[in-house]
A and B are shown apart, each in its own frame.
Chain A
Amino acid sequence: SQQGEEDPQALSIQEGENATMNCSYKTSINNLQWYRQNSGRGLVHLILIRSNEREKHSGRLRVTLDTSKKSSSLLITASRAADTASYFCATDANSGYALNFGKGTSLLVTP
């Protein structure tokens, strides 16, 4: 079953702007991951944040986790057209065996 819910469902920005996506989940987690999916392709892992971490950076990506609010955010700074994709948060489920994906945010970055 899906646990994460991304917000917004769709986001359209111009190159150079920042994009922020949010993810909320319902039950306690051990970790949360963000994935990117280009249209009709496989998913690419972006970043993993553990429940005892509050913030993590990777290049132009910044992820925050607030376990008290059961929410996470993904910030993409200085966006590029190549960032156009769907972004999914995924939480661990079944004692960590598998991932529950949220509904995703569709990001469009226009030149």
Chain B
Amino acid sequence: DTEVTQTPKHLVMGMTNKKSLKCEQHMGHRAMYWYKQKAKKPPELMFVYSYEKLSINESVPSRFSPECPNSSLLNLHLHALQPEDSALYLCASSQGLAGPGGAYEQYFGPGTRLTVT
């Protein structure tokens, strides 16, 4: 199984709502990522988890709260979002964190299209 799944596919939420995005992989990968992608732009890294621990937080506002309950699951909790947070949210996984000189390809899910009204 080389698939990363994300739910929901689409989400519309108000600025006062609390919602969660979910991501799952069963490839035994130990690194998982959240990216944000605006229309016609490249993905921008938000968070990186390695062995269920947060490794990188790219100065993301606290209204985005990641959680890694186990090695297969990654959640992104959303609260008090702004309309400018509307975007495609992509989850990805890789075997691990490559470190200097190394490299792992990343496997991406199809994304959650988020609209904040």
Contact = CB atoms under 8 A, between A and B. Distances in A.
A42 interface: yes
A96 B107 CA distance: 16
Given A96-B102, A97-B98, A45 B107 contact: yes
B32 to A, nearest CB: 12
A95 B50 CA distance: 14
Interface in A25-48: 30-31, 33, 35, 40-45, 48
B56 interface: yes
A96 B113 contact: no
6 A-B pairs with the lowest CB-CB distances in the bound complex, closest first: A101-B42, A42-B108, A31-B103, A96-B98, A45-B105, A43-B108
Interface of A: 2, 30-31, 33, 35, 40-45, 48, 50, 88, 92, 94-104
B115 interface: no
B60 to A, nearest CB: 13
A2 B44 CA distance: 8
Contacts, number: 70
6 contacts: A31-B103, A95-B99, A95-B100, A99-B106, A101-B43, A102-B42
Interface string B76-117: 000000000000101010000111111101111111010000
A97 B97 CA distance: 5
A96 B108 contact: no
Contact of B42 (A92, A98, A104): A104
Contacts of B113: 40
Contact of A97 (B44, B55, B107): B55
Nearest to A31: B103
B4 interface: yes
A103 B42 CA distance: 5
Nearest to A9: B40
Contacts of B111: 40-42
B103 A48 contact: yes
Given A43-B43, A104-B42, A96 B105 contact: no
A102 B113 CA distance: 21
